[in-house]
Structure formats: C-alpha cells, structure tokens
Amino acid sequence: MNKRIYPLKFFPIFKEKVWGGRKLREIGKDLPENQKIGEIWELVDRPDSISIVSNGYYANKSFRKIICELKDDLIGTDKKLDSFARFPLLIKYIDAAENLSVQVHPDDAMALKFNENDPGKTEFWYIFDTQDNPKILCGCDPAIKNITDQRQIGKNLDLFKFIDIQKGDLIFIPAGQVHALLKGTVLLEIQENSDITYRFYDWDRIDESGNQRELHFDKAINAIKTELPSKLFQRVSDFKEGYSTILDSSYFKIDLLKTRNRFSSMCDGKSYKILIILDGYANFKYGTNYEESLFLKKTDIILLPASLGNFSIETSQCTEINAFFIS
C-alpha cells in the first residue's frame, strides 16, 4: 500500500473568543486550561491558521505541504481548490457560551466586489446541544433594508426571525442569510474556506477596554438575501437507517450515514471525502485487504484522499453510528 495515501487526522486549532466557553468538553473535545474556547478549527488551509497532520507518514507536516505534494491524489480529478488556491472547506466546532453577533456573510460575487481576501461564505450546522436557549436567529423581514442607521438595529429585533432548535438539527445557512447563534448552542460547522463576517448588531457588548466591537452595517445591508433556502431546516431523526444525501450545494455535498452494520464504500479518485463521527464509535478499515484500521469516536474527523480506494466502517450491533461524509 502507498504509505502516502491514508486517512489523515489533524491537530485541533483552538480559538479563544469573548463569547466562548468550556462546553466542547461535553461532546468529547480536550480543551486547554483556563481559556474560553469559542471555536476548534479541525480542518483548515489558511495563511494564518493551517492544519497540521497528527498521524502516519505526514505526521507534523502542514496540510498545505500535503496538498502541494499529492495534488489530485488528495483533492480528486473532479474537485478544485478555491479561487485563492486553498482547500475549499473549513471544518470547525463552536461553543456559543454567549450570544454571537447578528451577522451575515457575503456570497462570492459580493466578496469580490468588496475586494475581500476571501471567497464568500456558505455554511451548514449540525446542532450538538441547546441547553440554555433552544433557539437561533435565522432570517429577517425585507423591511430590514429600510433601516439606514445601525443604531436602530437593536430597537428592531422583531425584524429578525427566531427558530426553535434541538439536538440533531441540520441547518443550512447560505451566503446572504442573516443569522446568530444564541447562548448555549454547541455545534459542528461546515463552511466555505472564508473568515468574512459582517456584523449588524452585537447586543451592545463591551470588551475589557470598554469598547464595542466593530460593526459593518453598510456591507451587511448590501449582502443580505431575505429569501430562506428550501432546505433550511432538517433533522437527523427525519432520515432512515442507511446512506442519505442531506445537501448537495455548489460548495459541498453532505451525506448522512446511519447504521448498526458494516458499511463499505470507496474513494475512486474523483473527490476527497471528509468523515465526521456525530454519534457512536466504529473501526475505519482500509488498504488492499482492509488490513489497516483506525478507531473513531464521536467528534473525530478524518480526511480521506481521493485515491484512497476501498474502505469500510464497522460498528457494534448494539451501537448505531451517525456520521457525515463531506465532499
């Protein structure tokens, strides 16, 4: 077997945030001590934050180096890097211990118009926990575009839509959709490789220096799309046991695996796959005769190179596994 082609695991990158907390420990993540961790970046290819491999032949090498070396063997013949020649997706876990800002992300065209150093940002959420406040802000009334003074946003929160959520919810947030995570929400986020956020409103929050965070009212108003997507909201419980496509967008495809049995598939050279364990545990087997194995548990993430070949996921009969395949 080619020792360079194998499932890649990465060291986490911890992001301390003013709104972060410690609840990612409750879904199985180890956290650095005495820090309010808002995000864990699990897979990323950016100049200021780049994933480092934690296993196998490429251990302690950067994701960027591996992309440059393996090329189509990693990415696939049907996939491309983004317009900045970077891996097109960013995968992270989020702990909103406090309300996040009311915000919007531009689409690719708007990001280009504003001369941003990133593409637009379409994202998708899997909800792990909603302990303190089982709602999110998602969507707005078209009348929001009539507001001309950012100081009026906090007095017009009735123009925003609030949606009840629970563990296992699947939420699609295309670029241009106004949204905000509210206190107590813990989730997985799959997104375009972009870090552009235009903030409308930040709940009048003040930092340690007594300053409010910067808002981006004019850009945000221009970036808004008021129509909700057709697949805004789904639930894992809506899907039967087996392999189902949840979302097939221009930026990523998300398939859900629910099984208590052995599942076999392959990477045929056309596209990488990102495997994310949502619940349960399993052995991931690969190699010519499935002689290689990785034990995977809840929240584990591995990147499967496009030329990996055949693989299988084997579970205990008494344990159902829920997992995403991202491509």
Res 3: pLDDT: 86
pLDDT band at 1 (very low <50, low <70, confident <90, very high): low
What value does the mean pLDDT take over residues 168-197? Answer: 96
What is the SS3 assignment for the chain?
A: CCCCCCCECECCEEEEEEEEECHHHHHCCCCCCCCCEEEEEEECEECCEECEECCHHHCCCEHHHHHHHHCHHHHCCCCCCCCCCCCCEEEEEEEECCCCCEEECCCHHHHHHCCCCCCCCCEEEEEEEECCCCEEEEEECHHHHHCCCHHHHHHCHHHEEEEECCCCEEEEECCCCCEEECCCEEEEEEEECCCCCEEEECCCCECCCCCECCCCHHHHHHHCCCCCCCCCEEEHHHCCCEEEEEEECCCCEEEEEEECCCEEEEECCCCCEEEEEEECEEEEEECCCCCEEEEEECCCEEEECCCCEEEEEECCCCCCEEEEEEC
Tell me: do 301 and 153 sit in the same domain: no
Q: Does residue 206 register a pLDDT over 90?
A: no
Tell me: do 153 and 26 sit in the same domain: yes
What value does the mean pLDDT take over residues 290-317? Answer: 95
Tell me: do 100 and 32 sit in the same domain: yes
Tell me: do 107 and 225 sit in the same domain: yes
Q: Does residue 304 register a pLDDT over 90?
A: yes
Residue 4 domain-assigned (yes or no): no
Residue 2 domain-assigned (yes or no): no
Domain count, the chain: 2
For residue 121, give the CATH number of its domain: 2.60.120.10
What value does the mean pLDDT take over residues 192-197? Answer: 97
Q: Point out the domain boundary residue: 235, 253, 283.
A: 235
Between the alpha carbon of residue 296 and those of residues 284, 300, 320, the distances in Å are 7, 6, 13
- Condensed to tens digits (0 to 9), the pLDDT of residues 27-82 reads 999 999 999 999 999 999 999 999 999 999 999 999 999 999 999 999 999 999 99
Tell me: do 126 and 176 sit in the same domain: yes
Tell me: do 222 and 90 sit in the same domain: yes
Residue 1 domain-assigned (yes or no): no
Residues with a known catalytic role: 199
What value does the mean pLDDT take over residues 189-204? Answer: 94
Residue 296 domain-assigned (yes or no): yes
Residue 8 domain-assigned (yes or no): no
Question: In which domain, by residue range, is 202 found?
Answer: 13-235
Tell me: do 213 and 283 sit in the same domain: no
> Distance between CA 242 and CA 33 in Å, rounded?
39
- Condensed to tens digits (0 to 9), the pLDDT of residues 209-257 reads 778 888 999 999 999 998 877 778 899 999 999 999 999 999 999 999 9
pLDDT band at 9 (very low <50, low <70, confident <90, very high): very high
pLDDT band at 306 (very low <50, low <70, confident <90, very high): very high
Tell me: do 231 and 243 sit in the same domain: no
Res 91: pLDDT: 98
Half-sphere exposure of 234 (CA within 13 A, CB side): 20
Tell me: do 30 and 165 sit in the same domain: yes
> Distance between CA 80 and CA 85 in Å, rounded?
8
Tell me: do 129 and 257 sit in the same domain: no
Residue 7 domain-assigned (yes or no): no
Res 75: pLDDT: 98
Q: Does residue 152 register a pLDDT over 90?
A: no
- Its pTM stands at 0.95
Tell me: do 105 and 22 sit in the same domain: yes
Tell me: do 268 and 164 sit in the same domain: no
What value does the mean pLDDT take over residues 272-278? Answer: 98
